């Protein structure tokens, strides 16, 4: 399947200083509460290729520095993080039924899939036992399309894989995508072009085809992530610069093929602060109660 999504946003994190024992206790308790993602059965690795790579179909990719893309304040490391964040939003940040009555996603659930990025075929590094790669780089040689991936090879209609673990199941061709950069006027739209293509091709590997037309979805465009500029969808290219989303019907297919897991609660910054202060207080009280030698 041949085939472009989300905003480039800064990642801010609050850091609280507590004494050594309190910090260690806070970390241990946070992990026990499930704030850190646990290993799941399936991971898709976004491989920003460091050297020439070839996917299952013989399409080659070469490293892309993105120097000519015009990002105002993004080096390659930041762009990788932003792309990963955008893909996670598409697949794991989908609104549940409680937030959107049209959504097929039950409250408190998310797709049973993980995403990470790499530079080379190094594995996901998160403990998952099953993973596949999508290569991101310039086409070698130029192919004339934005990307490609195998339909249903990672998860077919029966929810199983038909390719070897660790396979490169698709390619995102940055030289072709760059031909659309004239449509983008800011970093957000440039990232949408790249991340939308990545999410689109991964969708193919999870058994999502091109739709016949625009479909109802919670995104900025009437066209879903799986829409294409060619027939039968015939989506205008300007739509690729928008923050698109999977159609409700498409997300139901993802639920059927990937399955669901419980959403892990992540404490708010204020919760982290109260937790740290509370543990610090307990450590101080304990030290005061211990007789000094």
Tell me if 83 sits within 8 A of 194, measured CB to CB: yes
For the chain, the average pLDDT equals 83
**Paired tokens of 102:** 């049209």
Q: What is the pLDDT of residues 58-102, one digit of tens each?
A: 999 999 999 999 998 889 999 999 999 999 999 999 999 999 999
pLDDT for residue 74? 84
Segment 130-147 shows an average pLDDT of 94
39-263: CATH superfamily? Collagenase (Catalytic Domain) (3.40.390.10)
Residue (of 66, 95, 59, 84) closest to 5 by Cα position: 84
Which range among 168-177, 195-204, 257-266 shows the weakest confidence by mean pLDDT?
257-266
The full set of domain ranges for the chain reads 21-36+272-287, 39-263
Residue 266 banded pLDDT, cuts 50, 70, 90:
low
Nearest to 167 by CA among 130, 119, 138: 130
User: What whole-number distance in Å separates Cα of residue 134 and Cα of residue 245?
Assistant: 19
Residue 288 has pLDDT above 60, yes or no: no
Which tokens sit at 285? 């009280």
Report the distance separating Cα 241 and Cα 193, nearest Å: 5
pLDDT mean over 241-267: 91
Higher pLDDT, 41 or 292: 41
Write the DSSP assignment of 172-201 as a string of letters: EEHHHHGGGGGG--SHHHHHHHHHHHHHHH
Higher-pLDDT residue of 239 and 144 is 239
Question: What pLDDT, on the 0 to 100 scale, is given for residue 73?
Answer: 81
pLDDT of residue 127: 86
**Which of 110-119, 120-129, 155-164 has the lowest average pLDDT?**
120-129
Q: Are 157 and 207 in contact (CB under 8 A)?
A: yes
Tell me what pLDDT residue 2 has.
58
pLDDT band per the 50, 70, 90 thresholds, residue 123: confident
CA distance linking residue 232 with residue 203, whole number of Å = 17
Average confidence (pLDDT) over 104-124: 94
* Residue 137, CA distances (Å) to 62, 125, 167 in order: 5, 21, 17
> pLDDT (tens digit, 9 = 90+) per residue, 209-222?
999 999 999 999 99
Query: What's the confidence (pLDDT) of residue 255?
Result: 97
The model's pLDDT over 181-214, given as tens digits with 9 standing for 90+, comes to 999 999 999 999 999 999 999 999 999 999 999 9
pLDDT at 20 over 50: no
The per-residue pLDDT for 101 is 98
Q: Tokens 């159609």 label which residue? A: 247
Among 69-83, 115-129, 153-167, 270-284, the least confident range: 270-284
Decide: helix, strand or coil at residue 74: coil
What pLDDT does 245 receive? 98
DSSP secondary-structure letter at 237?
G
CA distance 198 to 189: 14
Cα atoms in the 13 Å half-sphere on the side-chain side of 70: 16
Res. 54: pLDDT tops 70: yes
- At 3 the pLDDT is 55
Do the Cβ atoms of 193 and 177 come closer than 8 Å? Answer: yes
């Amino acid at each position: 399947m041949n085939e472009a999504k989300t905003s480039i946003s800064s990642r801010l994190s609050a850091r609280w200083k507590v004494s050594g024992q309190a910090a260690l206790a806070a970390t241990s308790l946070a992990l026990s509460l499930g704030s850190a993602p646990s290993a799941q059965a399936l991971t898709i690795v976004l491989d920003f290729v460091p050297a020439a790579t070839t996917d299952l179909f013989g399409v080659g990719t070469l490293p892309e520095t993105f120097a000519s893309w015009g990002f105002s304040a993004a080096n390659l490391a930041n762009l990788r993080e932003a792309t990963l964040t955008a893909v996670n939003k598409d697949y794991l940040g989908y609104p549940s039924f409680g937030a959107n009555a049209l959504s097929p996603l039950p409250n408190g659930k998310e797709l049973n899939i993980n995403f990470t990025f790499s530079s080379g075929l190094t594995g996901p590094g998160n403990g998952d036992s099953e993973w596949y790669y999508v290569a991101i780089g310039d086409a070698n040689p130029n192919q004339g399309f934005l990307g490609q991936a195998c339909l249903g090879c990672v998860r077919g209609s029966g929810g199983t894989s038909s390719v070897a673990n660790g396979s490169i199941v698709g390619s995102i061709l940055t030289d072709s995508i760059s031909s659309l950069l004239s449509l983008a006027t800011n970093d957000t739209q440039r990232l949408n072009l790249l991340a939308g293509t990545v999410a689109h091709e991964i969708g193919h590997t999870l058994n999502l085809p091109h739709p016949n037309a625009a479909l109802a979805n919670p995104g900025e465009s009437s066209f879903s992530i799986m829409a294409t500029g060619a027939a039968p969808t015939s989506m205008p290219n300007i739509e690729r610069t928008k923050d698109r989303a999977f159609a409700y019907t498409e997300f139901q297919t993802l639920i059927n093929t990937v399955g669901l897991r419980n959403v892990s609660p992540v404490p708010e910054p204020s919760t982290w602060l109260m937790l740290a202060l509370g543990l610090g207080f307990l450590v101080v009280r304990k030290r005061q109660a211990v007789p000094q030698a």
